[in-house]
Amino acid sequence: MASITIDLSDSQFQKLRDLAAVHGITLEVLLKVSLEDWLNSQKSEFIDAADHVLTKNAELYQRLA
């Protein structure tokens, strides 16, 4: 498993700790879950955009084929 180190301001770090505490989870779990959610949403947004372009241009693609 890979690991990374990032620099956070004291206020950013405190906000993350507070958010993790509100949800009753560790800071590490909060960050992993948040990152996974963000990565999945990016993939979903790309797929939605690609589907839109393919649907919008389907007739053009058929004429070019």
Predicted confidence (pLDDT) per residue in 23-48, tens digit:
999 999 999 999 998 888 877 778 88
Our CA angle for 21, 13, 7, nearest 5°, is 145
Both tokens of residue 51? 């589907």
Task: Fill in the amino acid letter for 2.
Answer: A
Domains of the chain, by residue range, sit at 10-64
Angstrom distance (rounded) from CA 54 to CA 46: 12
For position 59, what pLDDT does the model report? Answer: 81
45-60 in b/e burial notation, b at 16+ Cβ within 10 A?
A: eeeeeeeeeeeeeeee
Angstrom distance (rounded) from CA 31 to CA 17: 10
